[in-house]
Amino acid sequence: MFRQVTLAAACAAALATGVVLAQQFPVLDNVANKVVQKYQSMTCEQLWAQKSQPKSAEEQRVIGLLKSDPAMRTEFLNRVAGPITNKMFDCGMIP
């Protein structure tokens, strides 16, 4: 019984943390989803070509925001790291 209560409390805490972080960075959801969709829809050839191109003004602005806010940067990376890393691995960009 104690184990079930502990598990329920842990789940509630995780859910509450997710809600708080989503409320703390409302724009982050859209940006992270856009980045993940971009990587998932690109072919490996497009990904390699895009890697050598300069960043757009919008990308530079977002990068500036992420550099200036460590909490936002952490949350952003937590959301996009898995899908981006998997795509890069599939394309042979990382071992």
Domain ranges (residues) in the chain: 26-90
Structure tokens at 24: 């703390």
pTM of the entire structure? 0.67
pLDDT (0 to 100) of residue 71:
93
pLDDT (0 to 100) of residue 5:
38
How remote is the C-alpha of 65 from its chain's centroid?
Answer: 14
| Surface-to-core class of residue 28, CB atoms within 10 Å of its CB (0-12 exposed, 13-18 middle, 19+ buried) | buried
Mean pLDDT by 10 residues, the chain (95 residues): 42 45 76 92 93 89 93 94 94 90
pLDDT (0 to 100) of residue 23:
62
Measured CA to CA, the distance from residue 8 to residue 16 in angstroms comes to 12
Question: Tokens 């500036």 map to which residue?
Answer: 64
Measured CA to CA, the distance from residue 95 to residue 31 in angstroms comes to 27
pLDDT (0 to 100) of residue 61:
92
